[in-house]
């Protein structure tokens, strides 16, 4: 039976699974299930718990409440999570065999709950305003909350700090702070254990529950977002800073090793590459040291994956077992997997292509969230084999069976040597199967060459990782050029970051373009993560190297897939990808049409208008005048007159990472300089930088539709004839 073609509106049908939690005895799995809500346009999330032995599923069916952040108590008898009915998030606790009860009643809500080692206490973040100290533990009614929210929105914003807006806040910060609260479950008594002088966040119980470790923000001016590590003694209330100048706080909970040292995730910004790594510091304070150096088998932890690997994830970058081994998630050479550091060496523990999150190991079991090219992320239970690797035992969730009725496309791995010969650029080419079938029917001799660039037909029983590896080996061996077949357009899709990477997982945007008959090309150029610190340098990402890497990859893709019409290749990308889209169409003639998303073009005007300017607010080595002149010299706006291809600009109205004025500059310049050139800007009301990943569903769909239809129009056959 012929399969259906994917449509834009099908995005509403996708069920998103995230935040896996494995019970301490390994018999139950808790997770978050996200389902589209047509009325609100949001993805509504619910907590589910599955008995891995009986298959029985329990759902936290709290009336009209969304839920997230499941976490088990150390004895597995309690499950805590966050829930909200539109008001601030509160902590709820479910005892085994009972219905959940609300545990906190905070005025401005809670975040990041964590159990004490004996399961008798919960620590969490709590938001507050300094003038409301007496009201912190009284939950507002719906009417009170709406009145409070409306009053705050209408108040004039009084700004005295250098850092006063963030993309995550959709604009101006509200003047609130965060502290650490501790709840005693037996009495339901709650207290704030941090002073009100600065903000604190991301708590962890350490030292057998005697203290809470967290991050604090004692600095002002341009270092206001810089965190330090604090230790809070619960018996005495003493708060002590034990680390100074954390190597760029990364937001993951602090842990401790067998010797009682604190372990945390940070980034050394002075390396020219923002690669998250694990650091160790003594509990009494002192200098931090890198726990283990970059290893040939993996690079860094907690990879920032592109595609649809954007779901709300519980912090899971590293875990420890009872034997002193540390497990962590890392991306390496095109794949995301779980690795283990045993104190001496690093070993790869899973053999997958796209692991997004994990929990465990517990009793030789590990719960992983992994995606496939043709399926969004699902939960799998893995069991450790005799060789020490974790292999699939059973599938825990099956949430998107409806996709089996639709035509889905699995891309082929393609690698090419960089133009300067210093690096190997890895990526994928997704070619619509219908185009290949049509080409083979009209050109019977094409089968030999085509088979060289696809997974072998005998690979039906293989995993995606095995199929991808086989196809990549064939590609590296070199594919024979295929005879001429019907030509199709293609789009180079550039990820953000640049310290990001493509994962071999579900990417609705790419599937949608392929369903419309376009090939999709995507790769990790220099500047991307997962290929080592040298590969990851920002100097490459913003220099000629990344430009050359993209051009080489496009040429190689067109060589290996002759059905791609080289005259009808477009380019798109968001954030850094938007920056590179503008750059590629400004300094090369390689593309026929472009869509720039969440773009960044002019560093001189982004200073002070987007939140990225805070990271470079205080130049240290040059005068301010020279600093601003350097920003102006690096502006792509000086090349805007060179743009001669149809350009669509997609931007969120409340994007404070790459401010809207960046997209407006490109639009205004082209409309003024080249009124005959097809140029359009689409602004999405109320959306921030994450419009394509966390925006309202109708905006995500409209965004994808605008982009796809632009390429259909300007990469169509008529456009190719006129090229």
CB burial class (10 A; 0-12, 13-18, 19+) of residue 348?
A: middle
Band of residue 209 on the pLDDT scale cut at 50, 70, 90 = very high
Q: How confident is the model at residue 271 (pLDDT cuts 50, 70, 90)?
A: low
Q: Which DSSP string do the residues of 574-607 spell out, in sequence order? A: ETHHHHHHHHHHHH----SEEEEES----HHHHT
pLDDT digits (tens, 9 = 90+) for 501-555: 998 899 999 999 999 999 999 999 999 999 988 899 989 999 999 999 999 999 9
DSSP-assigned letter for residue 509: H
Distance CA 439, CA 211 (A): 67
Neighbour tally for 374: CB within 10 Å? 17
The two tokens of residue 579 are 């920056």
Write down the pLDDT at residue 619: 57
How many Cα atoms occupy the beta-carbon half-sphere of 286 within 13 Å? 10
Measured from the Cβ of residue 646, the count of other Cβ atoms closer than 10 Å reads: 21
Residue carrying structure tokens 């599937």 = 511
**Which residue carries 């006129």 as its tokens?**
722
Which own/partner pairs from 88-97 qualify as long-range (CB within 8 Å, at least 24 positions apart)?
88/127, 88/140, 88/145, 90/139, 91/122, 91/124, 91/183, 92/60, 92/62, 92/67, 93/122, 93/185, 94/60
The pLDDT value given to residue 670:
97
pTM score: 0.91
Average pLDDT over residues 472-500: 74
Which pLDDT belongs to residue 436?
Answer: 47
What pLDDT sits at residue 269?
63
Task: For residue 81, list its beta bridge partners.
Answer: 92
- What phi and psi values does residue 395 have, to the nearest 5 degrees? -95, 130
Band the pLDDT of 452: cuts 50, 70, 90: very low
pLDDT surpassing 50 at residue 124: yes
Q: What is the DSSP string of 367-410?
A: EEEEEETTEEEEEEEEEE-TTS-EEEEEE-----GGGGGB----
- Greater model confidence, 227 or 431: 431
pLDDT at 64: 85
What pLDDT is recorded for position 706?
98
The b-or-e profile of 399-411 (16+ CB within 10 A means b, else e) is bbeebeebbbbbb
Query: To 10 degrees, what angle do helices 508-515 and 697-714 make?
Result: 40
Confidence of residue 151 (pLDDT cuts 50, 70, 90): very high
Return the number of other C-beta atoms located less than 10 Å from residue 336's C-beta: 26
How distant, in Å, are the alpha carbons of 328, 525, 580 from that of 541? 26, 8, 9
| Mean pLDDT for the chain overall | 88
pLDDT at 292: 87
Map residue 153 onto helix, strand or coil.
helix
Q: pLDDT tens digits, residue range 274-310?
A: 788 899 999 888 888 889 887 778 888 888 888 875 5
Q: How many CB atoms lie within 10 A of CB 621?
A: 6
Tokens of 188: 């339901």
Distances (CA, A) of 479 to 61, 345, 560, 590: 54, 37, 6, 23
Mean pLDDT, range 655-684, rounded to an integer: 96
Best CA proximity match to 378, nearest among 15, 695, 13? 15
**Residue 596: CA atoms inside 13 Å, Cβ hemisphere, count?**
30
Q: pLDDT tens digits, residue range 170-195?
A: 989 999 999 999 999 999 999 999 99
Cis omega (within 30 of 0) for bond into 292: no
Q: What percentage of the chain carries pLDDT values higher than 90?
A: 68
Q: Say whether pLDDT at 720 is over 90.
A: no
* Band (460; pLDDT cuts 50, 70, 90): very low
Cis peptide upstream of residue 498 (ω within 30 degrees of 0):
yes
Which has the closest alpha carbon to 679: 653, 716, 640? 640
What is the per-residue pLDDT for 275? 82
- Report helix, strand or coil for 684: strand
Per-residue pLDDT band at 438 (split at 50, 70, 90): very low
Q: Are 567 and 720 in contact (CB under 8 A)?
A: yes
> Cα–Cα distance between 495 and 574 in angstroms, integer?
7
How confident is the model at residue 270, as a pLDDT?
60
- Give the contacts of 31 (CB within 8 A, at least 6 positions apart): 17, 18, 19, 20, 21, 47, 48, 49, 50, 70, 369, 379, 396, 397
Statement: residue 442 has pLDDT above 70: no
Which of 443-447, 515-519, 590-594 shows the lowest per-residue confidence on average (mean pLDDT)?
443-447
Nearest Cα to Cα of residue 593 among 535, 512, 678, 517: 678
| Selected residue with higher pLDDT from 450 and 39 | 39
Beta carbons of 689 and 656 less than 8 angstroms apart: yes
CA distance 174 to 677: 42
Q: Rounded to 5 degrees, what angle do the CA atoms 585, 577, 297 make? A: 125
Token duo for residue 359: 């929990």
Give the range among 58-62, 134-138, 350-354, 483-487 with minimum mean pLDDT.
Answer: 483-487
- Dmax over CA atoms of the chain, in Å, equals 81
pLDDT digits (tens, 9 = 90+) for 373-432: 999 999 999 999 999 999 988 999 999 999 999 999 999 999 999 999 999 999 999 999
Q: State which of 68-77, 243-252, 452-461, 525-534 shows the largest mean pLDDT.
A: 68-77
Q: What is the pLDDT of residues 330-384, one digit of tens each?
A: 999 889 999 999 999 999 999 988 999 999 999 999 999 999 999 999 999 999 9
Query: Residue range 233-256: average pLDDT?
Result: 82
First to last CA, the chain: 38
By the 8 A CB rule, do 74 and 91 touch? no
| Residue 11 burial (CB count, 10 A) | 18
**CA 612 to each of CA 227, 540, 580: distance values in angstroms, whole numbers, following the listed order:** 17, 19, 17
Given a contact cutoff of 8 angstroms between Cβ atoms, the answer to whether 710 and 648 are in contact is yes
Across the range 451-480, mean pLDDT stands at 47
Alpha-carbon gap, residue 499 to 537, rounded angstroms: 9
Q: What is the mean pLDDT of residues 19-28?
A: 96
From residue 501, give the alpha-carbon distance in Å to each of 330, 332, 498, 551, 554: 11, 10, 8, 18, 17
């Amino acid at each position: 039976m012929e399969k259906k073609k994917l449509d834009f509106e099908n995005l509403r049908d996708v069920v998103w699974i995230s935040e896996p939690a494995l019970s301490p005895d390994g018999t139950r799995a808790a997770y978050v299930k996200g389902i589209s809500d047509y009325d609100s346009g949001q993805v509504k999330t619910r907590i589910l718990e599955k008995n891995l032995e009986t298959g029985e599923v329990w759902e936290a069916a709290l009336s009209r409440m969304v839920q997230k952040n499941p976490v088990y108590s150390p004895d597995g008898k309690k499950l805590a999570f966050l829930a909200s009915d539109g008001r601030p998030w509160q902590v709820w606790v479910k005892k085994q065999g009972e219905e959940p009860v609300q545990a906190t009643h905070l005025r401005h809500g809670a975040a990041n709950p964590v159990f004490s080692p004996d399961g008798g206490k919960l620590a969490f973040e709590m938001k507050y305003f300094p003038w409301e100290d007496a009201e912190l533990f009284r939950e507002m009614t719906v009417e009170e909350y709406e009145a409070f929210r409306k009053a705050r929105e209408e108040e004039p914003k009084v700004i005295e700090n250098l850092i006063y807006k963030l993309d995550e806040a959709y604009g101006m910060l509200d003047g609130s702070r965060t502290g650490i609260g501790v709840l005693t479950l037996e009495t339901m008594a709650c207290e704030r254990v941090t002073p009100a002088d600065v903000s604190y966040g991301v708590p962890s119980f350490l030292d057998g529950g005697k203290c809470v470790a967290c991050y604090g923000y004692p600095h002002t001016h341009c270092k206001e977002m810089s965190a330090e590590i604090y230790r809070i003694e619960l018996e005495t209330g003493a708060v002590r800073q034990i680390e100074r100048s954390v190597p760029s706080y990364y937001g993951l909970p602090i842990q401790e090793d067998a010797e009682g040292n604190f372990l945390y995730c940070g980034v050394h910004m002075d390396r020219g590459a923002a690669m998250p790594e694990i650091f160790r510091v003594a509990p009494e304070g002192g200098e931090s040291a890198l726990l283990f150096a970059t290893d040939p088998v993996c690079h860094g932890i907690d990879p920032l994956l592109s595609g649809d690997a954007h779901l709300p994830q519980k912090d899971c970058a590293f875990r420890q077992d009872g034997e002193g081994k540390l497990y962590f998630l890392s991306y390496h050479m095109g794949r995301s997997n779980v690795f283990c550091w045993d104190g001496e060496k690093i070993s790869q523990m899973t053999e997958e292509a796209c692991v997004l999150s994990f929990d465990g190991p517990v009793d030789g079991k590990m719960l992983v969230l992994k995606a496939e090219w043709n399926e969004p992320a699902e939960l799998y239970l893995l069991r450790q084999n005799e060789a020490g690797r974790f292999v699939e035992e059973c599938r825990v969730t099956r949430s998107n069976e409806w996709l089996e009725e639709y035509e889905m496309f699995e891309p082929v791995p393609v690698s090419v040597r960089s133009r300067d010969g210093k690096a190997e650029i890895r990526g994928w080419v997704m070619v619509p199967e219908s185009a290949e079938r049509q080409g083979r029917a009209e050109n019977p001799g094409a089968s030999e060459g085509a088979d060289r660039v696809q997974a072998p037909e005998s690979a039906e029983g293989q995993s995606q990782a095995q199929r991808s590896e086989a196809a990549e080996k064939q590609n590296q061996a070199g594919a024979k050029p295929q005879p001429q077949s019907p030509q199709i357009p293609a789009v180079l899709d550039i990820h953000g970051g640049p310290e990001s990477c493509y994962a071999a997982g579900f990417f609705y945007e790419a599937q949608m373009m392929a369903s419309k008959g376009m090939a999709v090309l995507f790769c990790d150029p220099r500047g991307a993560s997962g290929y080592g610190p040298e590969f990851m340098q920002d100097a490459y990402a913003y220099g000629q190297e990344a430009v050359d890497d993209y051009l080489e990859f496009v040429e190689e893709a067109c060589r290996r897939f002759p059905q791609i019409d080289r005259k009808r290749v477009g380019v798109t990308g968001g954030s850094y990808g938007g920056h590179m889209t503008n750059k590629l169409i400004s300094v090369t003639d390689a593309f026929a049409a472009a869509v720039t998303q969440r773009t960044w073009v002019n560093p001189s005007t982004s200073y002070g208008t987007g939140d990225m300017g805070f990271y470079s607010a205080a130049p240290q080595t040059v005068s301010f005048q020279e600093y601003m002149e350097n920003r102006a010299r690096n502006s792509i706006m000086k090349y805007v007159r060179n743009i001669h291809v149809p350009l669509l600009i997609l931007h969120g109205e409340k994007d404070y990472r790459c401010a809207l004025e960046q997209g407006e500059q490109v639009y205004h310049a082209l409309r003024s300089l080249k009124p005959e050139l097809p140029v359009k800007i689409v602004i999405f009301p109320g959306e921030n930088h994450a419009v394509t990943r966390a925006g309202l569903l109708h905006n995500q769909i409209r965004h994808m539709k605008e982009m796809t239809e632009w390429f259909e129009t300007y990469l169509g056959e008529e456009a190719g004839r006129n090229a």
